[in-house]
Chains A and B, each alone.
Chain A
Amino acid sequence: MKSTITLSLCIAALTANLAVGAANAETFRWASSTDPQTMDPHAVNSSPVLGFLNNVYEGLVRRDQAMAIEGALAQSWEPLDDKGWRFHLRKGVKFHDGSDFTAEDVLFSYQRASSEAADTSSWFSPISEVRIVDDHTIDFLTKAPNPIFPDSIANFMIMDKGWSEANNAALPSKEVENHATLNTNGTGAFKLVDRQPGLKTVLEPHDGWWGEKQHNITRAEFTPIQNPATSVAALLSGDVDMINPVPIQDAARLKERDGVKVIDGIEARVIMLGFPHGADALKYGADAGKPNPFKDQRVRAAVSHAVNVDAILKTIMRGAAQPASQLVSPAMRGYSASLSERPAYDPELARKLLAEAGYPDGFSFGLKCPNDRYLNDEAVCQAIAAMLSQVGIKAELEAMPVRTYWPELRADNFDMYLLGWSPGTFDAEHPLRFLASTPNKEKKLGSWNFGDFSNIAIDSMLPNIQSEIDDGKRQMMLDHSAKVLQDENAYVPLYVQPLVWGARDNIDLTQRPDNFVILRWINVN
């Protein structure tokens, strides 16, 4: 024991002597649980990639601090009657390598991002043609009137045609190495200076950026840290300036500690329970093989009344989240304000509904849940399983990493499942297309509708919602769809996932509901 103490004293003395001054004050170091998979803005449509590359590349339009659309590489745009949209491009914009930005680059990027090889092609399914008018004007023609097109392309990033072609990166690639997976040449406020996948990615300001500089960063270093405890430790010890996310349970303590602060908000992601609408029989638990009770709307309604969302938010979510009543959060365009009431927690009513549906003694079934995808997902599922068993339906919980979760859901291996959905377009039409439409491969509809929910009213309304120009009429249809989904209990929306970032006290930053870390709004004081 004595020598152990001596040893640690030695280490302490050694490290005290070796201590050196902190890194340059204007270096901003941040950490997150996931590394962007690629530096190619068209290769993978996931928020770690798009969020990171938003600092390097720019779109025709971008979202401001309040998520509203504003001009970026396009200075202005207007509809071409019902045929599409015309974009007037900003003049004098340079890429990081000094080459000029023109309409040619936009056309090239459109072709690249909508190609077979791209992961972003679904963004352009409404587009019939893209036409260059002159060097700084370009038309996007749509198959049908499309009022929300400019809103839907904030993450469509423009690449340099000359650079991409010269480096054999004219098409995105996720399978093989390609110049654009490790290198970038954007127009954004920051340029990539070092990329070590999975380890460290370094950005520096782009001196020739067209916009007005609002940050004071001279160098930004990003490190992925998977272990949540390690990332909290890194923030507390000052090894990083910001972490995203902070484990919810640590937020309260971090707020109390000197030197660090917690920035919380509401993410666009709604967490919900899904049902096997199409399955004939239960697959798990003691009642496996018996007819599927979830086909009965009353059973689904019983589930919605049996889950005490309030308790989940108070304990597991520590008051950081808000209850959800529909598939989108209140911050999204097209949210139905009149339907904001979620089913009340009422175990008696749940038991009554189950009895009416013919299950006075309940039944047992399998609940599938990811354990590394959403904030505290496993704990939430555990709590839900307990609450459901208290009204008599016994859930056998199986929690698994997300790598096996999606294949499992796609193979229909569930009796009930947990899903989180964040609409990429920030519009209520998005979940209708992916979660509520009858699955249809050719039309690319319902691709995440694992339970095969199918409703004629939703299916027939969707094309009209997509092409309606008049906001009022569009909202009426969205409200109607939301009502249908609520009445049918197609899903049981639970809560809107909170967004919790942690930062050192000397960092000023802006947090948006899309969970993007935008460096050009960060100041190191």
Chain B
Amino acid sequence: MFAYAIRRIIQSIVVLLVVGLVAFAMFRFMGDPIDNMVGQERSTVDIERLRGELGLNDPFVVQYFNFLNNAARGNFGISYQQSRPVFDILLERAPATLELAGVSGLLAILIGIVLGVFTAIRRDGLAANTIMVVSLIGVSLPTFLIGVLLIYLFSVELDLLPSFGRGEVVKIGGWSTGFLTVSGLKALVLPAITLGLYQMTLIMRLVRSEMLEVLRQDYVRFARARGLPEKLIYFRHALKNTLIPVLTVTGLQLGSIIAFAIVTETVFQWPGIGLLFVNAIQFVDIPVMAAYLMMISVLFVCINLVVDLLYFAVDPRLRDDNAAVKI
């Protein structure tokens, strides 16, 4: 077990290095930051000077090494766009994304589980089938369109919810929260629905199919035979047993919620790291883009690592995986 864990961690570090390389390489193809940094009337001499100062004329390997070296110390450099340390900017923007991801994740889990249980219990009922079909509409349209349509309906036509931004935020230490103000909570509704819709559908379907499976198990039949109330059977016995796979998937999905917040944040002008990233792309702000990708990678790799280690601990059959098959 210990050896496996060590090996797995080393692998993860290699993964991060590769991600770093790919991330960094990618940005070298994305255009030239200099054009955004100087105005219309600058001269070619200015451009060359600036390139030199930013180290953009160094060989690629040197640039990558410098990047890694600094990144290891939490120094992601200075944003070209904002002229401030990237790390500070990320810290400042993280609360917005984490709150949005948290709320939409929570919404997705709660509604997903409730609807999943419901559709499993009433498997062939009209209501359950309708929910199944309607939930698919949410994943059959691109996120940006759903976001724009929600804004159109709830902000412009009904005038109920704000169309963009986070509303008023309250600073608690270094954390800015939108949970404590009315406008902050209102601003959260539409983006959270937009972002959570896909995950909600996913969780609902997962819960449904797990439930259907569990309901066929012998112990559920015995419970029925013993005359236990249906509600007790569903929620005490069945649901409990479906939760483990659901939570595993949800754990993995949390990472992707944060990554896929990019589109939602763009549509709603949500001041999080996804929007920061999109702005950085527009501006070819290489340090910000690289730092963002590294951050997401660390998150994903950690989640993956934990999930794998858990699986390993739970299911002894998988231990063969790493012993090469003798051919």
Q: A45-B41, A441-B45 are in contact. Are A15 and B155 (CB under 8 A)?
A: no
A20 to B162, CA, bound (A): 12
> Is the CB of B282 closer than 8 A to any CB of chain A?
yes
Question: Is A15 in contact with B161, judged by CB distance below 8 angstroms?
Answer: yes
Q: What are 21 residue pairs bridging A and B, where the CB atoms are less than 8 Å apart in the complex?
A: A15-B186, A18-B186, A20-B183, A38-B83, A120-B39, A121-B46, A122-B43, A177-B84, A197-B81, A198-B82, A226-B269, A230-B267, A236-B155, A237-B162, A238-B159, A239-B155, A239-B164, A372-B282, A401-B31, A434-B40, A448-B40
- Shortest A192–chain B CB gap in Å is 15
Selected contact of B53 from candidates A175, A182, A447, CB within 8 Å: A175
B230: interface (CB < 8 Å) = no
Q: Is the CB of A44 within 8 A of B45?
A: no
Q: How far is the CB of A384 from chain B (nearest CB, A)?
A: 23
Q: Given the complex of chains A and B, what is the CA–CA distance between A238 and B183 in angstroms?
A: 14
Verify if B268 is at the interface (C-beta below 8 Å from A): yes
Mask, A200-242, CB within 8 Å of B = 1, is 1000000000000000000000011111011101101111000
A225-B84 contact, Cβ under 8 Å, with A122-B43, A407-B35: no
> When the two chains form their complex, are residues A116 and B155 in contact, meaning their CB atoms are under 8 A apart?
no
Cα–Cα distance between A121 and B32 once the two chains are bound (Å): 22
Answer whether residue A181 sits at the interface, using C-beta atoms and an 8 A cutoff: yes
Apart from A403-B32, A407-B35, list 7 A-B contacts with CB within 8 A.
A1-B130, A175-B78, A198-B81, A229-B267, A372-B282, A403-B36, A444-B43
* A173 pairs with B151, CB closer than 8 A: no
List the B side residues contacting A44 at CB < 8 Å.
37-39
Q: Which residues of A contact B39 (CB under 8 A)?
A: 44-46, 49, 119-120
- Given A4-B134, A226-B278, verify A233-B163 contact (CB < 8 Å): yes
B83 and A173 contacting across the interface, CB-CB below 8 Å: yes
Complex Cα distance, B80 from A37, in Å, reads 9
A521: CB under 8 A from chain B?
Answer: no
Task: Report whether B83 and A176 are in contact in the complex, using a CB–CB cutoff of 8 Å.
Answer: yes
Q: Given known contacts A12-B158, A12-B160, is B32 in contact with A406 (CB within 8 Å)?
A: yes
Chain B residue with Cβ nearest A37: B81
* Chain B 92-114 interface mask (CB, 8 Å, partner A; 1/0): 10000000000000000001000
Please judge, given known A-B contacts A20-B182, A46-B39, A239-B155, whether A233 and B83 are in contact too, CB under 8 Å. Answer: no
For A24, list chain B residues within 8 Å (CB): none
By a CB distance below 8 angstroms, the chain A residues around B115 are 3
Please, how many residues of chain A have a CB less than 8 angstroms from a CB on the other chain?
A: 63
B121, CB-defined interface residue at 8 Å: no
A32 to B153, CA, bound (A): 23
**CB neighbours of B82 from chain A (8 A):** 37, 181, 197-198
Cβ 8 A contact of B163, one of A1, A176, A196, A239: A239
Chain A residues with CB below 8 A from B81, complex form:
37, 197-198
The 3 tightest CB contacts between A and B, nearest first, are A45-B39, A403-B31, A233-B163
The answer to whether the Cβ of B68 comes within 8 Å of any Cβ in the partner chain is no
Query: Judging by beta carbons under 8 Å apart, are A46 and B83 in contact?
Result: no
Contact, CB under 8 Å: B84 / A197? yes
* Inter-chain contacts of A200 with B (CB < 8 A): 271
Q: Which residues of B contact A38 (CB under 8 A)?
A: 83
Q: How far is the CB of A447 from chain B (nearest CB, A)?
A: 6
The reply to whether B282 and A434 form a contact with Cβ atoms under 8 Å apart is no
Contact with A along B37-55 (1 / 0, CB 8 A): 1111111111001100110
Chain B residue with the shortest CB-CB distance to A46: B39
A18-B182, A227-B266, A233-B163 are contacts. A174–B35 as well, Cβ < 8 Å? no
Residue on B with the closest CB to A2? Answer: B127
B contact residues around A196 at 8 Å (CB): 92, 271
Q: Which residues of A contact B267 (CB under 8 A)?
A: 227, 229-230
Q: Does B284 contact A (CB under 8 A)?
A: yes
**Are A403 and B30 in contact (CB-based, < 8 A)?**
yes
Asked if B131 is at the interface (CB within 8 A of a chain A CB), the reply is yes
Task: Judge whether A233 and B84 touch: CB under 8 Å.
Answer: no
Q: Which of A307-366 contact B (CB under 8 A)?
A: none
> Which parts of A16-54 form the interface with B (CB within 8 Å)?
16, 18, 20, 37-38, 44-46, 49
Chain A residues with CB under 8 A of B50: 174-175
Contact: A119 with B46, CB < 8 Å? yes
Q: Is the CB of A223 within 8 A of B269?
A: yes
Cβ–Cβ < 8 Å partners of B44 in chain A: 441, 447
Tell whether B258 is near chain A: CB-to-CB under 8 Å. Answer: no
Q: Would you give the shortest CB distance from B41 to chain A, in whole angstroms? A: 5
Residue picked from A4, A199, A434, most chain B C-beta under 10 Å: A199
B186→A198 contact, CB < 8 A: no
Q: Which of B31, B36, B40, B130 lies at the interface centre, i.e. has the most chain A CB atoms within 10 A of its CB? A: B40
Give the residues in chain B near A238, CB-CB below 8 Å: 159
Q: B278: nearest residue on chain A (CB-CB)? A: A226
Partner of B156, one of A181, A233, A441: A233
Is the CB of B152 closer than 8 A to any CB of chain A?
yes
- B238-284, CB < 8 A from A: 266-269, 271, 275-276, 278-279, 281-284
What is the distance, in angstroms, from A288's C-beta to the closest C-beta of chain B?
22
* CB of A178 within 8 Å of the partner chain: yes
Q: Choose from B83, B85, B279 the contact partner of A174 (Cβ within 8 Å).
A: B83
Answer yes or no: A79 CB below 8 A from chain B CBs: no
* Chain B CB within 10 Å, residue with most, of A46, A237, A402, A406: A237
Against B, the Cβ 8 Å flags (1 = close, 0 = not) of A416-432 are: 00000000100000000
CB of A177 within 8 A of CB of B269, answer no
| Contacting pair B148 A229 (CB below 8 A) | yes
Q: Is B90 an interface residue, CB under 8 A from the partner?
A: no
Per-residue CB proximity of B69-87 to A under 8 Å, as 1/0?
A: 0000000001011111100
Whether A406 contacts B35 by the Cβ 8 Å rule is yes
Cβ of A11 within 8 Å of any chain B Cβ, yes or no, is: yes
- Name A199's closest neighbour in chain B (CB-CB): B271
CA distance A208 to B82 in the complex (A): 30
A293 to B283, CA, bound (A): 35
